[in-house]
Structure 1
Amino acid sequence: MNNRMEQEKIVSIEDRIPKLKQQRKQKTNKRLTLFLCLFFILILLVVYFQSPLSKISAIEVAGNAHATGESILKQSGVSIGTGFWNLNGEQAEREIKKMKEIKSARVLKTFPNKVTLQVEEYKRVAYAEKNGSFMPILENGVVLKSDEKSLPSDAPILINWKDADQIQEMASALLQIPKPIASSISEIYHAPEKNDSWHITLYMNEGYVISGSVRNIADKIKAYPSIVSQLKPGTKGIIHMEVGTYFESFEKPSDSKDKKDQGEELNEAQE
């Protein structure tokens, strides 16, 4: 009985030896394959970093409407031939944001060697006229130096504005005005009065004049379309929006009753 059991054990071990050898061989092959893969990856990395593929070969500037791509690229410090992986994107973003026109900046890398400088500019809400030149006023109130002589059409022109704080206040007000109304404003004169140093006169593209104050014009002017719709076709004049809202025609009314009636119509439109 014991001899039989010993023989079965011997046969069992002999059967397992080929399987163990096969398993060891498979493990050895896997290790060798892994080693060779790592070796070739290292070789490829060395070749890549030594080749032009690891250098920046294309730089694109996107999102700019007014600042030139050349000025943004120069400010970023990024250049063709710089190591793709050596580029400090955060530093380049900080440098770009030092430009007065730029609100935000991002440096995007696209493998293998392309870089995109994505920027967002401050909106131009108006232009300041000075000695025949038009200087852009940004949404944050900053006035850019410019030699632009052509009459801008994308924002109103501020005339007779000298105080930086008042310019910033006006810029903030313009941002709150609905775009369809803001695009109808042609010129904004700073016309301070005895009781209101913030008084302004707005000239509209439709031929109307608005008299108001910087402090509440963003709210008051929202009634402009409704007011104009209540006026007789061809009637032009001044829409007063200082405290109450009423219309004063350029043509003198035939009697006081006509003027009173027209004022009542504007009050109804305001409501």
Structure 2
Amino acid sequence: MDERIPHFRSRVGRRRSPSPWLFVFIFVFFSGMLFILFLRSPLSKIEKIHISGQHLVTTEEILAKTRMKKGVSYFSIDESRAEQTLTQLPEVKRVSVDKTFPNQVYIRVEEWPPVAIFQTEDQKLLPILSNGTILTTRPYTSDRPKQPIFRGWVRKNPTFTSAVKQVARLPESIRATFISISPVANDAEQVEIKSDQQHQIFVRANEITAKCQFYPSFYQHPPGMLYLLESIWFAPRRSGKPRLQAEAE
């Protein structure tokens, strides 16, 4: 009879292992609590905004455009949206916005460089960027402009647009010698360039980059007229007859 009764199994000292989901719940709970505490602490707020590369656009304009300031949440800043917003500024060629955890933002700006100045009918001077944009909201304030001045032009004139883009491609050493660029009355494709050596240079607008490369060869000539057209020749102001010059001179 005793052989049919199973032996009693003692459960003393044996405990059921806790479910692994309990550990997952505890980890998630405390991680969430730490994250909430981090969000509410000063560590999650932007402490420093680094802005570099800008010359025309001010720091205040960049911050206002992106709505960034010290103290805002690190996670509230959308880099892509900030970049898209800043590239809408006519001065900005490209921009990059990067966040560095936990509280730093870096904004790197590349602008279209100003290459010339546009003179309006009321004698205001406005910067012209290398892409042809005229900055109507940023009047030139210097008494001695360092860029050539486009005088007598209509802004929508295609010859003007072509001339600006051609001048932008010139080396700075050549562009700096130009004082003014004006349309030629009897030829819609030509422009007249006045230099700091009292030279009058006549060239087609769409050939400024190619033909003005020869100007340094004539730079030391006396005041006169330089024609950079089908043929290249120079006429001193005091001489009635032009003096022919070879392109290779």
Does the pair score TM above 0.5? Answer: yes
- Aligned residue number for residue 54 of structure 2: 64
**SS of equivalent residue, structure 1 residue 81:** coil
- Aligned residue number for residue 247 of structure 1: 234
1:225 to 2:216 alignment: yes
Q: How many residues align?
A: 225
Over 3 Å counting, the alpha-carbon distance change for 1:46 and 1:163 in structure 2 is closer
- Aligned residue number for residue 197 of structure 1: 188
**SS of equivalent residue, structure 1 residue 120:** strand
- Aligned residue number for residue 5 of structure 2: none
How far does residue 99 in structure 1 lie from its aligned partner after superposition? 0.7
Where does 1:18-167 land on structure 2 (aligned, <5 Å)? 44-130=34-120, 131-145=122-136, 146-151=138-143, 153-164=145-156, 165-167=158-160
TM-score by length of 1: 0.74
Aligned mates of 1:81, 1:88 — CA distance in 2: 15
Q: Which deviations, in whole Å up to 9, do the C-alpha atoms of 1:222-242 show, x marking residues without a partner? A: 11112335x4xxx22111112
How far does residue 40 in structure 1 lie from its aligned partner after superposition? 7.6
How far does residue 73 in structure 1 lie from its aligned partner after superposition? 1.3
How far does residue 80 in structure 1 lie from its aligned partner after superposition? 2.3
Q: 2:177 aligns with which of 181, 184, 201?
A: 184
Over 3 Å counting, the alpha-carbon distance change for 1:147 and 1:178 in structure 2 is closer
Aligned mates of 1:40, 1:80 — CA distance in 2: 29
Letter in 2 for 1:56: I
1:269 to 2:248 alignment: yes
Letter in 1 for 2:77: L
**SS of equivalent residue, structure 1 residue 199:** strand
| Structure showing greater Rg | 1
- Aligned residue number for residue 238 of structure 1: 225
Contact 1:134-1:151 within 8 A present in 2 as well: no
1:175 to 2:200 alignment: no
Letter in 2 for 1:96: L
Answer with 99-108 or 159-168: which moved more. Answer: 159-168
Letter in 1 for 2:209: A
Q: Which deviations, in whole Å up to 9, do the C-alpha atoms of 1:134-185 show, x marking residues without a partner? A: 1111122111113334345332110011042333211210122222111211
Q: Which deviations, in whole Å up to 9, do the C-alpha atoms of 1:193-249 show, x marking residues without a partner? A: 2xx3021111112332211110212111111112335x4xxx221111122111111
Ranges in structure 1 where 5+ consecutive residues have no aligned partner: 1-34
Letter in 2 for 1:267: A
Letter in 1 for 2:67: G
Over 3 Å counting, the alpha-carbon distance change for 1:220 and 1:179 in structure 2 is same
How far does residue 188 in structure 1 lie from its aligned partner after superposition? 0.8
Ranges in structure 2 where 5+ consecutive residues have no aligned partner: 1-24
TM-score by length of 2: 0.80
Over 3 Å counting, the alpha-carbon distance change for 1:85 and 1:227 in structure 2 is same
Aligned mates of 2:134, 2:197 — CA distance in 1: 27
Answer with 216-225 or 152-161: which moved more. Answer: 152-161
Aligned mates of 2:139, 2:218 — CA distance in 1: 38
**SS of equivalent residue, structure 1 residue 60:** strand
- Aligned residue number for residue 214 of structure 1: 205
How far does residue 100 in structure 1 lie from its aligned partner after superposition? 0.8
Identity across aligned pairs (percent)? Answer: 26
How far does residue 93 in structure 1 lie from its aligned partner after superposition? 0.8
Over 3 Å counting, the alpha-carbon distance change for 1:79 and 1:268 in structure 2 is closer
**SS of equivalent residue, structure 1 residue 153:** coil
